[in-house]
Amino acid sequence: MKSYIKDQIDTFKERNQNRGRLLVSCPDQPGIVSTISHFLFSFNANIIESSQYSTNPEDGTFFIRIEFECPGLMEKAEKMEQQFDGIAKRFDMEWSFMHVYRVKRAAIFVSKELHCLLELLWEWQSGNLMMDIPLVISNHEAAREVVEGLDIPFHYIPANKDIRAEVEEKQLQLLKEHEIDVVILARYMQILTPSFIAAYPKKIINIHHSFLPAFVGARPYERAYDRGVKLIGATSHYVTNDLDEGPIIEQDISRVDHRNNVDSLKKIGRNIERSVLARAVKWHLEDRIIVHGNKTIVF
């Protein structure tokens, strides 16, 4: 299995060695698209996909994501970034270039419930989530057999609020050693400290088992049942220091009624959680998300 997945990743890298992505946000004004297009044309780059959005054409913020094919991109990349910096200063841009062949390295954190982890692993095996998974970290042993069965290193690190600093020091060291680009919390039921979050800003993706901002924090299904809700949902978001209040990436819902008890709400909710998290991770891997304040623009 590991060889099969490695072959998939190697094929993807080879096929996309000349593929790049450019994400830009800046004050809206005339000439942005034209200038970027002429810049890419000057390097013989062909635009494959382009999506843009403005909060207000008169005095708002402009966002654009461009995917392009550029012969000899690896050799041209440094020069392209140097030249684009001048354009960025002219338009007051926040921007980033990404090389598609550089497959992101993800660490998955999980606790006892495995449905989100299993969904991610299935999507990864099938090639729908193009990422390397150098390790899985858990504060329980429940996921070990599944993870090691796919030849992924599993790290059991017991965690609770009394030893949080010590635990996160070990975790951060592992993430550094494995050169991790994104951290996925697949129902990892521990609160992260500000120092951990600061090490991976806008790179920690969480799944919360409610349709935020409803039922922030613990036991949302129980609270939803007590409230007699008619819709339940799940929310994937970037982690910030404010619990369950980071920029939302994706959400979904399912209708329920008075016949549902807490257990059936949880069963329905798990199906929503795993698909919502998988979509959010996919969009992050494909550089489709721009964070703007406490919101996201998802192309």
SS3 (DSSP) at 37 = helix
The vertex-165 CA angle with 160 and 169, nearest 5°, equals 115
Dump the DSSP string for 277-292: HHHHHHHHHTT-EEEE
* Cα-trace Rg, the chain: 21
Which has the closest alpha carbon to 44: 20, 7, 9, 69?
69
Kindly state the helix (H) or strand (E) to which residue 22 belongs, with its residue range: strand 19-27
Q: Going by C-beta distance under 8 Å and a sequence separation of 6 or more, which residues neighbour residue 160?
A: 139, 190
Catalytic residues: 244
Distance between CA atoms of 239 and 236, rounded to whole angstroms? 9
Q: What are phi and psi of 24, to 5 degrees?
A: -140, 140
Distance between CA atoms of 92 and 50, rounded to whole angstroms? 20
Distance between CA atoms of 172 and 25, rounded to whole angstroms? 30
